[in-house]
Structure 1
Amino acid sequence: MSELKKLGDLIDLIDERNKNGIIKTLIGVSIDKCFIKSVANTIGTDLSKYQIIRKFDFACSLMQVSRDGKIPIACLKDFDEAIMSPAYYIFRIKNTDEILPDYLAMWFMRSEFDREASYIAVGGVRGSMPWEDFCDMKLPVPPLEEQQKIVDAYNAIENRIKIKQKINEKLEATAQCLFEELTKNKDLFEIKTIEEISENVVCGKTPSTSVKEYWGKEIPFITIPDMHGNNFIHTTERYLSEQGKLSQAKQTLPANSICVSCIATVGLVSLTTQESQTNQQINSIICKSDVSFYYVFLTLKNMTEELKRLGAGGSTTLNVSKSLFASIKLKIPSEKDMQNFDEKVSPLFAQILLNEKELEKLAQLKRLIVSQIARK
C-alpha cells in the first residue's frame, strides 16, 4: 500500500552558487517538462550568481502557474552538472531509499498534478505558486520495489520510443538522399507554381464550435499542434462529424494531401492519411495525378526558411496567404523521373507511417502508466 506524504517531507531546497564561475552550461526548463540549453549570450555575464544543478536534482519554475496551466519541472539526467537562473527552484530528494527520482519525475508529469497546482496557484501573485504551497502538495509513495516496477515499465516504453524514432530518422535521411540525388540536375526541370501542379489548393476553415452536431469522432480536424514532429497525420486532437464535414465540403482533403502551416507557425509540412479537414492556419495541396506528392512534400520540407520569409511581409505575425502560397514556384522533374522516385521512396514512407502509428500507441501507454500512479 502507498503512504500519502507531503512533497516537502521528501525533498530539500538547494541553493548552491557557481561561485568560481567554472560551470558554463546554462540550461532552463520548458513548459513540456524537459531541460533545454539556453541560447542567451552569456559573454560578459557574471556566472557566479547562477545556481548549480547536479545530476538527479530537480528544477522548477513556480511563476504564472495558473496562467500556463503547467509547472515547468524536470529531473536532470543528461548532464552531471549545469547552471540555472536564480529564478528557478532547485531541489533534491532527501532519501532515495524512500522515493526514486524517476518515480517523482513521473508524478510531476501527470496532468492531474498540473491541474492541482493551477488550482492552488490561483490565489498567488500573478498566478504564481508559493514554495510553501508546492511543498504542501501530497503524493502516494509506495514501497521502493513497487516504485521500481512502475519506473521499469515506463522506461521500457521510453526505450522503445527512442528506437523507433532513430529508425524513422534513418528512413527520413534515406528519403532525403534520394531527393537530393533526383534534384542534382535542376536545370532540366520545369518551373511550375503550386497552383499549376495541384488539383486544388485548399485553405482550411473551422466549422462553428457552437453547433455541437458538427463535432464528433469521424473526420480528423487538423490544427498546427497535430503537425509537430509528424510526417503523417494519423490522429488529431479534435474530430468533425460527417455533418460537420458536409457543412464545408469544399475544405475536405483526400489522403496524401500535403498540409503546410502558414500562419504564426510557418513551415510545418505533413501528409494526410485519410479524408480530413484543417483549420484556417493551414494551406493544403491536392496534387495532380501525374505529380509525385512525395516529391512535393520533400520539396516543401526543404523550404522552411523560404516560407518564413514569404510570410514575414512586414507583419509581426507570419502569414502566407492562400494566393501567395499558390503562387510559390517549384522545380518539377519529368513525370518518368517522379515515378521512379516514388518507387524508391514509397516503401520508406510506408515504414515511417507504421512507426509513427506505433509511437502514438506507445505515447498513450506512457500516459496510462503515469495516470495510474495516483491509484497505487
Structure 2
Amino acid sequence: MDLNRTDYKRLGDYIREVDVRNRDLKVTKLLGVSISKEFMPSIANTIGTDMSSYKVVEPRQFAYGPVTSRNGDKVSIALYKEDESAIISQAYTVFEVKNKQELLPEYLMMWFRRPEFDRYARFKSHGSAREIFSWEEMCDVELPVPPIEQQQKIVSEYETVTHRIHLNEQIIAKLEETAQTLYRKMFVDGIDKENLPEGWRMGTLGEIATIKAGGDKPKVFSNYSTEQYEIPVIANGVENMGVVGYTKHSVIKEPAITISARGTIGVCFVRRKPYYPIVRLISVIPNDKNFLHNLWFQLSSKQFEGDGSVQNQLTIPVLEREEIMIPKHKTLEEFERRMSLISNIIELKTKQNRKLNELQSLLLAKMGR
C-alpha cells in the first residue's frame, strides 16, 4: 500500500462514542479487555455491585481502557466479535464506527494492534496520579482509510493468517491432551508405588540423570536467531519457554529437561536440541534418552521445596535426592517413541505459528506505508 500523509484521515470523523447502560439488567455477560487486545471474562468481584450502571457493548463495537500507565505500555482495546450483547465496567469507553461502508471495524482493529499505535497512545497520555489516553486524543488519531474494497482485502489476508494460528493452537492443545492421557494410562492409572509392576522400582533422580547448573550469559549473544547465532540461550522463565536470545555454541548437547531454580521453582521444559543454560536454571540430563518425556511428566507434577533464607531456591543436592519412579526399559522406550511423534508435530506447529506471527506483524506494518 503506497500512501502519503494526505491519505491519512482523522479517526474522529469516522467513530462516535456509545454510552448505553444496563438499566433493565437484561445483559448478564460481564467482560473485560486485556492488554493483548481481546475481550475476556471479567475476574472482578461483583458481589453487591449495581450492574445497572455497567455499559452495554454490542457486536462490532469497540471498548478501551483510557488508563495507560502501569499497563505494560499497551492500550487495552478490543473489537467485540460475539453475537450477543455484553456488559463491561463503566471505566471503559465504548465506541463504534459510524458508517461501516467507509471504515471496516476489523480494519480499524488491525490499526489498533500496531505497536506504533500503542507508542502513540502512551506519548499522548497525560495526568498526574495516572496517565489517561482521552477520548479527544483517540479522535485525533490519524490513519490511512483506503477504499472499502482494499480494506476488506487487507482484513481478509490478516484473518486468514489468524485463523491458521488458531487452528495450530487447537492442534497443539489436542496433542498435549493426548500426551497427558497416554502418560496417565501407562504410568499413573492403576499404578501403586508400594506394589509396582515387575521390573519397575523406585529410585532417586541422581541415579538416573546428570544434573547441572546454568552459568553466566555468553559474551557472544544475539536477540534473534540467525544462521550464525542459532543456539538458544535459556533463562529461568516461562515466556517463550525461557529463550532470551541466541549464541554460537551450546553447553548442553544431549536431550534434557530444564527446571527453574529461583523464585517460582519447578517450572519444567523438555529441551530436545542443544542449548545454552544460564544462571537460576538447572538442567536434568537423563542417562537413558528413553527416559526423557516420562521424567518430564514426573518432575512437572512435583511440588518442590527449595531452600534459601531470602528467596526460594532449588539446588542440585535437593534434586539429586528427589524420589523418582523407574519403569522397565521396554515401557519407557515405547512411551518415548510415541511422545517423540507427538513432540515433532507440536514443534512443527509451534514453528509455523512463529512464522505466521511474523507475517501478521508485517501485514500490520504495511498498513502505515
TM-score normalised by length of structure 2: 0.84
Structure with greater Cα Rg: 2
Q: How far does residue 39 in structure 1 lie from its aligned partner after superposition?
A: 2.4
2:195 is the alignment partner of 1:195: no
Among 352, 355, 363, the alignment partner of 2:349 is: 355
Q: What secondary structure sits across from 1:299 in the alignment?
A: helix
Q: What does residue 239 of structure 1 align with?
A: 246
Among 95, 108, 124, the alignment partner of 1:120 is: 124
Q: What does residue 219 of structure 1 align with?
A: 231
Counterpart CA distance in 2 for 1:128 and 1:263 is 36
2:368 is the alignment partner of 1:374: yes
Counterpart CA distance in 2 for 1:287 and 1:38 is 43
Q: What secondary structure sits across from 1:68 in the alignment?
A: coil
Residues 369 and 347 (structure 1), Cα distance of their counterparts in 2 relative to 1, 3 Å cut: same
Q: How far does residue 261 in structure 1 lie from its aligned partner after superposition?
A: 3.7
Q: What does residue 10 of structure 1 align with?
A: 14
Q: What secondary structure sits across from 1:18 in the alignment?
A: coil
Question: Does the CA contact (< 8 Å) of 1:18 and 1:49 recur in 2?
Answer: yes
Question: Does the CA contact (< 8 Å) of 1:60 and 1:71 recur in 2?
Answer: yes
Question: Does the CA contact (< 8 Å) of 1:65 and 1:117 recur in 2?
Answer: no
Cα deviation digits, residues 179-207 of structure 1 (max 9, x gap): 111113242143334333321233x3452
Q: What letter corresponds to residue 197 of structure 1 in structure 2?
A: I
Cα deviation digits, residues 123-144 of structure 1 (max 9, x gap): 7653332221222111111111
Counterpart CA distance in 2 for 1:281 and 1:80 is 47
Q: How far does residue 72 in structure 1 lie from its aligned partner after superposition?
A: 1.2
Q: How far does residue 117 in structure 1 lie from its aligned partner after superposition?
A: 1.7
Q: What does residue 111 of structure 1 align with?
A: 115
Q: How far does residue 312 in structure 1 lie from its aligned partner after superposition?
A: 10
Q: What does residue 249 of structure 1 align with?
A: none
Instruction: Give matches, 1:52-71, under 5 Å.
Output: 52-65=56-69, 68-71=72-75
Among 332, 335, 341, the alignment partner of 2:329 is: 335
Question: Does the CA contact (< 8 Å) of 1:186 and 1:331 recur in 2?
Answer: no
Question: Does the CA contact (< 8 Å) of 2:62 and 2:78 recur in 1?
Answer: yes
Counterpart CA distance in 1 for 2:60 and 2:308 is 46
Cα deviation digits, residues 262-286 of structure 1 (max 9, x gap): 5455554322243222443533322
Question: Does the CA contact (< 8 Å) of 2:238 and 2:267 recur in 1?
Answer: no
Counterpart CA distance in 1 for 2:71 and 2:85 is 31
> Percent of aligned positions with the same letter in both sequences?
32
Question: Does the CA contact (< 8 Å) of 1:226 and 1:237 recur in 2?
Answer: no
Counterpart CA distance in 2 for 1:125 and 1:7 is 28
Question: Does the CA contact (< 8 Å) of 1:287 and 1:293 recur in 2?
Answer: yes
Residues 193 and 72 (structure 1), Cα distance of their counterparts in 2 relative to 1, 3 Å cut: farther
Q: What secondary structure sits across from 2:357 in the alignment?
A: helix
Question: Does the CA contact (< 8 Å) of 1:67 and 1:127 recur in 2?
Answer: no
Among 145, 166, 172, the alignment partner of 1:168 is: 172
Q: What letter corresponds to residue 92 of structure 1 in structure 2?
A: E
Question: Does the CA contact (< 8 Å) of 1:66 and 1:122 recur in 2?
Answer: no
Cα deviation digits, residues 287-311 of structure 1 (max 9, x gap): 21265111112333444xx35xx46
Residues 73 and 349 (structure 1), Cα distance of their counterparts in 2 relative to 1, 3 Å cut: same
Worse overlay, 327-336 or 120-129? 120-129
Residues 177 and 4 (structure 1), Cα distance of their counterparts in 2 relative to 1, 3 Å cut: same
TM-score normalised by length of structure 1: 0.83
Counterpart CA distance in 2 for 1:127 and 1:142 is 32
Instruction: Give matches, 1:175-194, under 5 Å.
Output: 175-183=179-187, 184=189, 185-187=191-193, 188=196, 189-194=200-205
Among 108, 114, 133, the alignment partner of 1:129 is: 133
Q: What secondary structure sits across from 2:231 in the alignment?
A: strand
Q: What secondary structure sits across from 2:177 in the alignment?
A: helix
Question: Does the CA contact (< 8 Å) of 2:203 and 2:325 recur in 1?
Answer: yes
Residues 41 and 201 (structure 1), Cα distance of their counterparts in 2 relative to 1, 3 Å cut: same
Q: How far does residue 15 in structure 1 lie from its aligned partner after superposition?
A: 1.4
Q: What does residue 207 of structure 1 align with?
A: 217
Q: What secondary structure sits across from 2:9 in the alignment?
A: strand
Question: Does the CA contact (< 8 Å) of 1:74 and 1:105 recur in 2?
Answer: yes
Counterpart CA distance in 2 for 1:364 and 1:238 is 17
Q: How far does residue 68 in structure 1 lie from its aligned partner after superposition?
A: 2.4
Q: What does residue 248 of structure 1 align with?
A: none
Question: Does the CA contact (< 8 Å) of 1:221 and 1:240 recur in 2?
Answer: yes
Whichever structure has more helix as a proportion of its residues is 1
Structure 2 unpaired stretches of 5+: 224-228
Counterpart CA distance in 2 for 1:93 and 1:312 is 57
Q: How far does residue 73 in structure 1 lie from its aligned partner after superposition?
A: 1.0
Instruction: Give matches, 1:33-72, under 5 Å.
Output: 33-65=37-69, 68-72=72-76
Q: What does residue 298 of structure 2 align with?
A: 299
Structure 1 unpaired stretches of 5+: 246-251
Residues 291 and 274 (structure 1), Cα distance of their counterparts in 2 relative to 1, 3 Å cut: closer
Q: What does residue 270 of structure 1 align with?
A: 269
2:79 is the alignment partner of 1:80: no
Counterpart CA distance in 2 for 1:147 and 1:37 is 30
Counterpart CA distance in 1 for 2:82 and 2:264 is 29
